[in-house]
Structure 1
Amino acid sequence: MAIDIGGTFTDTVLLDNASRVVATTKTPTTPHRPALGAVAGASHVLKAAGADWHQVTGFIHGTTLATNALIERRGADTATITTRGFRDILEIAYERRYSQYAIDLVKPDLIVPRTRSLTIGGRMDASGQELEPLDKAGIAPLVAELRALEVKAVAICLLHAYANPAHELALRELLAQHMPDLVISLSHEVSPEAREFDRLCTTIANAYVQPLMAGYLQDFETRFRQMGLTCPILMMTAGGGMTTLDTAARLPIRLVESGPAGGAVLAARIAEATGEAEVLSFDMGGTTAKLCLIDDYRPQTARKFEISRAERFIKGSGMPVRIPVIEMIEIGAGGGSIASVDRLGRIQVGPHSAGSDPGPAAFGKGGDKPTVTDADLTLGLIEPGRFAEGRLRIDPDAATQAMVQDVGDPLSLSPGLAAFAVSEIVDESMASAGRMHAVEAGKDLSNRLMIAFGGNGPLHATRVARRAQMRRVLIPRDPGVGSAVGFLFAPVSYEVIRSRYARLDGLDIDGLNRFFGAMQTEAEQVVRAGAPEGALLQRRVAYMRYHGQGHEIEIRLPDRALAATDLDALRGAFETEYSHQFSRIVPGMTIEILNWGLSVSSPAPAPERCPDSPAEHAAMATEHRQVLCDVTGAWRPAGVFNRSDLAPGAALNGPALIVEAQTTTFVSADFSATLDGQGNIWLTRQEEVQP
């Protein structure tokens, strides 16, 4: 079983031993007690499959709770403790403005104000040698300050703790003696890398959400145990793997973006099954849209991302967090995104969302603001009687009324044109985000395949693809719960990245192998808790640069202990990758390594290769309904097809609606659709629009 709790809906998927999806459902997220919606979804799929709780042998969970808590600033009051003389790490940051000429620049909110930034004496050097012992006499005044500030959590980030954590460990023990209820996060456990500002921010974020996530995870586990679940509960991480509840409670920052990571895992698996080496995954839910580049069947990864940017697309305007993540761009564009008209007469869509409570106006739960879902209903693209498997009553008149009141009347537009304008704005926002993400990575979207899923992804895929100049779209099976399906195919994994400065010419091979041995022991302990049997895979990397440079590039290492004979190959691999990225190398320059990475994982199940598609045959529509054509801007009939009735080889032309349990695929007038041998829908843009 896999459960993905999103901002609007909670997706649940049940898989059998043959890796076949046997039941899925979407239930409204219950924001105040997320576990309630999760239990409701789990009970529904078990009933649909005729199964019982004791038959569930694997359970994976992903949640946006940590992400939302950071964005909405709903965490615990947190203080920081840094080395004496380094109180202003947060204030100094990178010593630059993210927008040099902005007069009214808004600095990122880094959670901890200077009044809660505390220090203590003691000092390590960069190699881990103690220069000054920890000031134990300063503990009592420090405790008094923490009590006066009434903080619930503290982030400890002492200088060079990644090289020697002795002072951080001692400080935690001393504080716990005086304040046993204080939640403490240590930087060498959360992010054991050089660069103090990034490490401190990551530790703050972890401490900030740790009390909330610990309580949530305990409540989640208790409720499911009471229902009869007996197997371990594993958590999806931002890096695309799974980890245990204990690790998730200790390092909740690794759960940030865990739901979208499942979608990227699914898209990579489909890419490998279909032999598509260059893919853009497009996951549009109720609150946000997520896009990820996938090359050679691996999602693009990063070691750092920013939370809650003051300027949406400007790097440096958010709070940096340094953890292993699947790199994607996320914008506030989902089915629940609210549309409005600003004082200049411009339509704005998002980033604010109606969520699941009260939800879009059409849900009839008290929402009166027009959303993207209301626009799609007004355009005729959603069949009200089939929305959310018919278990959620939809009111098209309420959607139209909200659209007219907040968009149509201010701009003197008919309901259809008002909805069309909202759709145009949100689709262009998502397409421009995809284009920007590709340009920043030096990629071209035009020849890529878009794999679209999520509750609203199939509904908007062709409209977004056209604007992103993409010609092909794939809609997988069970797309409405795509991220949850991805959870079920993710490996149990744990990644460790640590700083250990070295020059390639003077590399201490024996010391480095011992260093990797300690990392491997740490990672395997976490992975074995979730995968106690079977062989484990590992991946080793070095982050290398020329001497004096400020940033590194990732170089793959042999997945074994290094030997002196590996140095020439390592130099060659660095120069090859450096030349690939920058079109040249720098002869005679010293090469240095700042960080080393190791990931340990259980083997992921191999995807089934997609069989050859049978001969095409024309599909017959079960009915027709009027939709506002997104190509011509005129109302025209669209064929309605039940996806479950379409056999492999079925072909049809747009405009058309392919309806299934949790979502609808809209085939625009300039696209055609065919089903392959695995039941995937392939949408291909045509040169001429069908009359």
Structure 2
Amino acid sequence: MTRHSLAIDIGGTFTDAVMLSSDGESYVDKTLTTHDNLLEGFFRGVELVTSRAGIAPRDVDDVVVHATTVVTNALIERKGPPVALLLTEGFRDVLYIREEHRYDMYDPQIEFAEPLIPAERTFTLKERTYADGSIETPVNADAVRDVIEQCRAKGIVSVAVCFLNSYRNGANEEEVRRIFAEEAPDIYVSLSSVIAPQMREYLRASTVAINAYTVPITRPYLLALVQELEQRGFRQQPLIMLSNGGVIGADRASTMPVRMIESGPAAGALVACYFSRIFDIPDLISFDMGGTTAKACIVQGHEPLVTGTFEVDRRYRFKPGSGMPITVPSIDMIEIGAGGGSIASVDDLGLLRVGPQSAGSMPGPACYGRGGQDACVTDADLVLGILNADRFLGGDMQLDLAASQAAFDRLGDALNLPRNQAAWGVFEVVCEQMAAATRTHATERGIDYRGLPLLAFGGAGPVHACMVAELTESTKVIYPPLASVLSAFGTLVTPVQIDLVRSNVTTLDTLDWDSVGGVLDSMTDEGTAALTEAGMQRDEITFGFSVEMRYLGQQSEVRIALQDDPRRARDTVAIKALFEAEYLRQYGLKLDGMKIEIVSWLVTASGIQPDRSAKKQAHAEIGQGVETRPVHLRDGIRDVAVWQRATITADDLITGPVIIEERETTIFVLEGWDVSLHSSGSLVARKTGEK
């Protein structure tokens, strides 16, 4: 019996839909994202792929997985409802003081992202928990009720609670939530001891503030999604993609939206690992360029790099430290404002600039014919001749070439350049920006990016990947099947998974294993509850353990993956050896005689790896045979061969420059590269002469 699974990935410009059948057949489509009502675009995508597959909603009997930008949009647009912050007395200004770190030491006009919760909606309570978890001053119930009255007067709909040292003992925060549940059950309450139970107060406060800000948006959205799916006849509860690369049930995800910020990009990074195994390439660069942003992630040993802290809403050239930090496990990637909708402009010095502002889906690039006047990256691709105005989305979405040409006439006048040179300039600048971001991301992590293959996907990724590969000194670019909707496909090959972190600071030589056992027990219990809610059976759940350690007195930790459950062996000698080996690998030395400190324990709860694949795709023919069309390149106009991807066979060796079209995207390969078909269905571009 054939089973069907469905994935919907809502991006900044397009909403991608993928339907997979257990026989390997796949059906894909794209529709413009409807920012005013994301569910409208969601179900438009559902209707497109179910109609292509010829099935009804009740026939989707495997999983429904969703990745969404709803949290990111809320943070960038800052159109959320009034939210309050409740802190320990004496620590009212924690979101303003931050960490006292200046991301640019010599800038006298340095700017930071304004806190989501302003001072006038920040309250404090007289309470105190010590660093060892003992409570010196419990919460006063009347004081909490007074805060509730003030919240009602200010129209507050959600509250973040972050008390000092609550990561060691959240009893005072739990008491606040209990009183709010009795007195004001309509107000959402987010606790730092639940959302981010980790040391470092500012990081914890920032994380729980972001969660509280987005819960009133995300929870109704996901509940409405569940209800609408049921009404349409779907039998499955949706799973939601998280930033760590796992999926979890919608109900739990709706209470912790801070874990959904990198929802879609994380799926792309995970599917890059999937293809790294298929090609037996342990290390590669995942390159995902959509309509609004471009994302790069380094894959090492078939696994993505993972981080415990990342930032959103960076205010200064995407510089670390200029945004709002979040301390939750996430796929480590770099994201810049460079997509098909990125707007090209001229700066104060008369130089060409591309992004980070985007035209999005409304009005979109000028060629979308939705009122956009700005010259965008997609307009440049169309003016150059790389894109065909009559074949965008298989001809279902007609592009307006005249509008793109007019936009580049205006930009060219401002730059004192002809239209086509201005368009090629945009193409080169956006590729260099993405290559520079990739180089920086890899170099900051001590990784030599030169020669690493690129996996190119996203709607605009295959158009620009070959140029990015040249700039990063790569000799191989992989264009997988379903490239335009690969992040959506990634959600279907990702296991149900949640990563949990708890700080429990102690030196290694004074480690209390009974205390550690209690911490790890609570984390495995929470992981089990989360995965069973998402449909896993208890015997399908496995756990991985890690620990963050440092030498006593240091500020930053090193993450150590443990080979087994530490509660069994209780072997501090083995843990010390692992730490010293990893520290030596990263820094080239170890500090003999220095005490070692454990800061946090990490538990990954995972379900079984889904056995899904796209062995074949239902192609829509958009052209006949091999054609040629004029394309404006750096050295002038060239007649470039145009192939249809569905017609390429294993016997073909295609020499660049060449354009390869499929319904949802276009591949552009430069001169000096050869393209062939891999047994997986992927196209592989290699530097001429390279194996």
Question: TM-score if structure 2 supplies the norm length?
Answer: 0.95
Q: Report which stretch shifted further, 385-394 or 194-203.
A: 385-394
Q: Deviations over 1:216-262 (max 9, x none)?
A: 11222222222211111000000000011111111011110100011
Q: CA deviation at 1:425?
A: 1.1
- Is 1:465 equivalent to 2:469 in the alignment? yes
Aligned residue identity for 1:125: Y
Q: Which of 337, 344, 348 in structure 2 is aligned with 1:339?
A: 344
Aligned residue identity for 2:683: I
Give the equivalent residue in structure 1 for 2:174: 169
- Is 1:492 equivalent to 2:492 in the alignment? no
Give the equivalent residue in structure 2 for 1:445: 449
Give the equivalent residue in structure 2 for 1:111: 116
Residues of 2 paired with 1:116 and 1:55: CA distance?
49
Gaps of at least 5 residues in structure 1 are 611-619
Asked if structure 2 preserves the Cα contact closer than 8 Å seen for 1:648 and 1:679, the reply is: no
- Is 1:78 equivalent to 2:83 in the alignment? yes
Give the equivalent residue in structure 2 for 1:292: 297
What SS class does the counterpart of residue 116 from structure 2 fall into? coil
Q: CA deviation at 1:532?
A: 2.7
Residues of 2 paired with 1:191 and 1:371: CA distance?
39
Asked if structure 2 preserves the Cα contact closer than 8 Å seen for 1:264 and 1:292, the reply is: yes
Asked if structure 2 preserves the Cα contact closer than 8 Å seen for 1:621 and 1:639, the reply is: no
What SS class does the counterpart of residue 103 from structure 2 fall into? coil
- Mapping of residues 21-100 of structure 1, within 5 Å: 21-57=25-61, 58-100=63-105
Asked if structure 1 preserves the Cα contact closer than 8 Å seen for 2:493 and 2:613, the reply is: no
Q: Which of 559, 582, 587 in structure 2 is aligned with 1:577?
A: 582
Q: CA deviation at 1:608?
A: 8.2
What SS class does the counterpart of residue 650 from structure 1 fall into? coil
User: Runs of 4 or more off by more than 6 Å in structure 1?
Assistant: 606-610
Aligned residue identity for 1:647: T
Q: Report which stretch shifted further, 649-658 or 22-31.
A: 649-658
Q: Report which stretch shifted further, 219-228 or 28-37.
A: 219-228
Q: Deviations over 1:435-492 (max 9, x none)?
A: 1101111111112110000000000000111112211110000100010010000000
Q: CA deviation at 1:101?
A: 1.1
Asked if structure 1 preserves the Cα contact closer than 8 Å seen for 2:67 and 2:241, the reply is: yes
Residues of 2 paired with 1:667 and 1:80: CA distance?
52
Aligned residue identity for 1:682: V
- Is 1:222 equivalent to 2:222 in the alignment? no
**CA shift in 2, pair 1:654/1:582, >3 Å:** same
Aligned residue identity for 1:365: R
Give the equivalent residue in structure 1 for 2:313: 308
Asked if structure 1 preserves the Cα contact closer than 8 Å seen for 2:134 and 2:169, the reply is: yes
Give the equivalent residue in structure 2 for 1:679: 681
- Is 1:137 equivalent to 2:142 in the alignment? yes
Residues of 1 paired with 2:430 and 2:158: CA distance?
39
Asked if structure 2 preserves the Cα contact closer than 8 Å seen for 1:338 and 1:372, the reply is: yes
Asked if structure 1 preserves the Cα contact closer than 8 Å seen for 2:661 and 2:667, the reply is: yes
Q: Deviations over 1:173-193 (max 9, x none)?
A: 212333222111111111011
Gaps of at least 5 residues in structure 2 are 1-5, 616-623
Residues of 1 paired with 2:218 and 2:610: CA distance?
30
Q: Report which stretch shifted further, 168-177 or 54-63.
A: 168-177
Aligned residue identity for 2:222: L
Q: Deviations over 1:60-81 (max 9, x none)?
A: 0000110111122122221111
Q: Deviations over 1:541-573 (max 9, x none)?
A: 010111111111111123324345622211111
Aligned residue identity for 2:136: L
Residues of 1 paired with 2:278 and 2:612: CA distance?
6
**CA shift in 2, pair 1:267/1:274, >3 Å:** same
Give the equivalent residue in structure 1 for 2:509: 505
What SS class does the counterpart of residue 567 from structure 2 fall into? coil
Q: Which of 599, 602, 605 in structure 1 is aligned with 2:604?
A: 599
Give the equivalent residue in structure 2 for 1:613: none
Give the equivalent residue in structure 2 for 1:149: 154
Q: CA deviation at 1:511?
A: 2.8
**CA shift in 2, pair 1:49/1:609, >3 Å:** closer
Asked if structure 2 preserves the Cα contact closer than 8 Å seen for 1:278 and 1:294, the reply is: yes
Residues of 1 paired with 2:127 and 2:415: CA distance?
64
Residues of 2 paired with 1:408 and 1:480: CA distance?
30
Give the equivalent residue in structure 1 for 2:367: 362
What SS class does the counterpart of residue 524 from structure 1 fall into? helix
Residues of 1 paired with 2:29 and 2:86: CA distance?
46
Q: CA deviation at 1:607?
A: 8.4
Question: TM-score if structure 1 supplies the norm length?
Answer: 0.95
Residues of 1 paired with 2:599 and 2:542: CA distance?
24
Aligned residue identity for 2:261: V
Aligned residue identity for 2:471: R
Q: CA deviation at 1:383?
A: 1.4
Q: Which of 373, 379, 384 in structure 1 is aligned with 2:384?
A: 379
Q: How many residues are aligned here?
A: 675
What SS class does the counterpart of residue 193 from structure 2 fall into? helix
Give the equivalent residue in structure 2 for 1:663: 665
Give the equivalent residue in structure 1 for 2:480: 476
**CA RMSD, aligned part only?**
1.7
What SS class does the counterpart of residue 417 from structure 2 fall into? coil
Asked if structure 1 preserves the Cα contact closer than 8 Å seen for 2:25 and 2:614, the reply is: no
Q: Report which stretch shifted further, 320-329 or 388-397.
A: 388-397
**CA shift in 2, pair 1:443/1:561, >3 Å:** closer
What SS class does the counterpart of residue 562 from structure 1 fall into? helix
**CA shift in 2, pair 1:564/1:394, >3 Å:** closer
Give the equivalent residue in structure 2 for 1:654: 656
Q: Deviations over 1:115-139 (max 9, x none)?
A: 2221001111112111112122312
**CA shift in 2, pair 1:390/1:609, >3 Å:** closer
Q: Deviations over 1:183-226 (max 9, x none)?
A: 11111111011111000000000000110111211222222222
Residues of 2 paired with 1:75 and 1:120: CA distance?
25
Asked if structure 1 preserves the Cα contact closer than 8 Å seen for 2:296 and 2:335, the reply is: yes
Asked if structure 1 preserves the Cα contact closer than 8 Å seen for 2:223 and 2:251, the reply is: no
% same residue = 38
Asked if structure 2 preserves the Cα contact closer than 8 Å seen for 1:648 and 1:678, the reply is: no
Asked if structure 2 preserves the Cα contact closer than 8 Å seen for 1:272 and 1:607, the reply is: no
What SS class does the counterpart of residue 390 from structure 2 fall into? helix
Q: CA deviation at 1:156?
A: 0.3
Residues of 1 paired with 2:420 and 2:614: CA distance?
43
**CA shift in 2, pair 1:164/1:565, >3 Å:** closer
Asked if structure 2 preserves the Cα contact closer than 8 Å seen for 1:59 and 1:231, the reply is: yes
Asked if structure 2 preserves the Cα contact closer than 8 Å seen for 1:185 and 1:206, the reply is: yes
Aligned residue identity for 1:536: I
- Is 1:633 equivalent to 2:638 in the alignment? no
Q: CA deviation at 1:622?
A: 1.3
Asked if structure 2 preserves the Cα contact closer than 8 Å seen for 1:538 and 1:559, the reply is: no
Aligned residue identity for 1:203: V
Residues of 1 paired with 2:164 and 2:73: CA distance?
30
What SS class does the counterpart of residue 197 from structure 1 fall into? helix
Q: CA deviation at 1:687?
A: 6.9
Q: Report which stretch shifted further, 446-455 or 463-472.
A: 463-472
Q: CA deviation at 1:609?
A: 13
- Is 1:204 equivalent to 2:206 in the alignment? no
Asked if structure 2 preserves the Cα contact closer than 8 Å seen for 1:273 and 1:609, the reply is: no
Give the equivalent residue in structure 2 for 1:123: 128
Q: Report which stretch shifted further, 561-570 or 253-262.
A: 561-570
Aligned residue identity for 1:353: S
Q: CA deviation at 1:498?
A: 0.3
**CA shift in 2, pair 1:105/1:190, >3 Å:** same
